[in-house]
């Protein structure tokens, strides 16, 4: 498997080619095709979750989700594959839409579908935010059971209310940052639900990341740890992760055990062991079969990403290589959230290639169902 590395001049050239060869034609298609074809639409739905009910943070268990329905949805009786797109830390169900506006998102998605780059799919964006900034899509006695909420409740709600292809071939998952962590771990835990995964700038090894991040957190808190919602980036991350990975209802006022001592920064091994159970690299090392079962695996990371993220992603990539697991690993030039639209389109293009075409009811009914659930231009070379 190869890794993409794009320099500044090369990237400018590549991006220009993308605009000329893909985006402009897509926009032209949109301008004319919308005269003759149906258009997609974005709607907001809502779910009341049993998995999040009575969580100790007092967060509401009634959550909105934003859904994109493709152009032919209202004019046909076809069933469609679904991509679940998970937001990052501090975000919510509207994060991806508000980045570009509803109108532009529909315009672009419709255009890529009508130009044949994407297959038609339903795109579902749930809300997994909590009072500490984010749930990391994990089950926790403190924050609630966000894994169950997404995998069981949201997926079942979509399969029940909308015309979906209700098997794992028609169900894939993606996300960025915290959502990238959620997408890769949920795919690993539930390979019977999801058949492909895309993780953009995900934290893939807690050991690698905390080696870099703990000194930064100590610098952010010179007079003692002040808790979540401090507006200090790494401190807020560590409290949210601790609430999800090492909750402790007997440790007020934040009811979570940090994985290190203050002010020494020494790692607390029993807490680290709790984190390792949900660590993507460790999960892969213990059992590689879920990712071997994936039809497609897509990972990207910035060469100037958050502290430790690049090192962690490199280790995960190397482990996948050593296990012979096919995947695509792209290193882009930039920071954690740079080139978001382009990267999202690359990931969706990749995932779309593994999705089935929309199917008529007679085809869907004949299949076994589960009980539950920008053109790419690369310069590739082996990882050094």
pLDDT digits (tens, 9 = 90+) for 280-312: 999 999 999 999 999 999 999 999 999 999 999
Same domain, 361 and 215: no
Q: Residue 364 has what pLDDT?
A: 57
Same domain, 11 and 86: yes
Domain of residue 165: give its range.
3-204+280-381
Residue 73's pLDDT band (boundaries 50, 70, 90)? very high
Same domain, 190 and 112: yes
Same domain, 334 and 360: yes
Is the confidence at residue 42, as pLDDT, over 70?
yes
Summarised one tens digit per residue, pLDDT across range 232-248 is 999 999 999 999 999 99
Domain edge (last residue) among 229, 248, 273: 273
Compute the mean pLDDT over every residue in the chain, rounded to the nearest whole number: 89
Same domain, 228 and 158: no
Same domain, 307 and 374: yes
Same domain, 46 and 123: yes
Same domain, 86 and 105: yes
Provide the number of structural domains found in the chain: 2
Same domain, 175 and 303: yes
Question: What is the spatial distance between Cα 240 and Cα 234, in angstroms, rounded to a whole number?
Answer: 10
Is the confidence at residue 43, as pLDDT, over 60?
yes
Same domain, 111 and 200: yes
Which CATH number is 131's domain given? 3.40.50.1820
Summarised one tens digit per residue, pLDDT across range 84-97 is 999 999 999 999 99
Is the confidence at residue 2, as pLDDT, over 80?
no
* Residue 354 structure tokens: 């593994």
Same domain, 119 and 234: no
Domain edge (last residue) among 236, 252, 273: 273
Same domain, 100 and 54: yes
């Amino acid at each position: 498997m190869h890794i993409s590395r794009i320099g500044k001049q090369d990237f400018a050239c590549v991006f220009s080619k993308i605009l000329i060869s893909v985006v402009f034609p897509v926009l032209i298609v949109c301008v004319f095709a919308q005269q003759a074809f149906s258009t997609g639409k974005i709607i907001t739905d809502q779910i009341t979750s049993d998995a999040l009910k009575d969580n100790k943070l007092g967060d509401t268990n009634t959550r909105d989700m934003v859904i994109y329905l493709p152009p032919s949805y209202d004019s046909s009786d076809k069933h469609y594959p679904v991509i679940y797109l998970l937001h990052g830390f501090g975000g919510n169900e509207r994060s991806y839409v508000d980045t570009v506006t509803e109108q532009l998102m529909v315009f672009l998605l419709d255009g890529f579908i009508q130009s044949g780059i994407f297959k038609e799919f339903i795109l579902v964006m749930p809300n997994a935010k909590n009072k500490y900034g984010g749930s990391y899509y994990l089950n926790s006695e403190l924050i609630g059971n966000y894994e169950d909420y997404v995998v069981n409740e949201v997926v079942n709600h979509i399969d029940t209310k909308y015309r979906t292809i209700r098997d794992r071939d028609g169900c894939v998952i993606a996300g960025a940052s915290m959502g990238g962590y959620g997408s890769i771990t949920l795919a690993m835990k539930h390979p019977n639900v999801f058949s492909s995964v895309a993780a953009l700038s995900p934290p893939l090894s807690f050991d690698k990341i905390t080696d870099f991040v703990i000194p930064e957190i100590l610098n952010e808190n010179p007079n003692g740890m002040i808790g979540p919602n401090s507006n200090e980036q790494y401190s807020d991350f560590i409290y949210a992760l601790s609430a999800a990975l090492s909750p402790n209802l007997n440790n007020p006022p934040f009811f979570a055990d940090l994985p290190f001592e203050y002010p020494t920064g020494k790692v607390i091994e029993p807490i680290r062991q709790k984190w390792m159970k949900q660590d993507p690299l460790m999960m892969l090392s213990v059992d590689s079969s879920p990712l071997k079962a994936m039809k497609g695996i897509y990972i990207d990371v910035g060469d100037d990403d958050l502290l430790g993220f690049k090192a962690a992603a490199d280790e995960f990539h190397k482990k996948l290589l050593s296990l012979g697991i096919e995947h695509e690993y792209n290193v882009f030039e930039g920071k954690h959230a740079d080139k978001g639209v382009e990267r999202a389109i690359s990931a969706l293009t990749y995932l779309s290639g593994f999705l089935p075409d929309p199917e008529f009811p007679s085809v869907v009914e004949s299949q076994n169902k589960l009980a539950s659930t920008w053109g790419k231009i690369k310069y590739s070379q082996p990882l050094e």
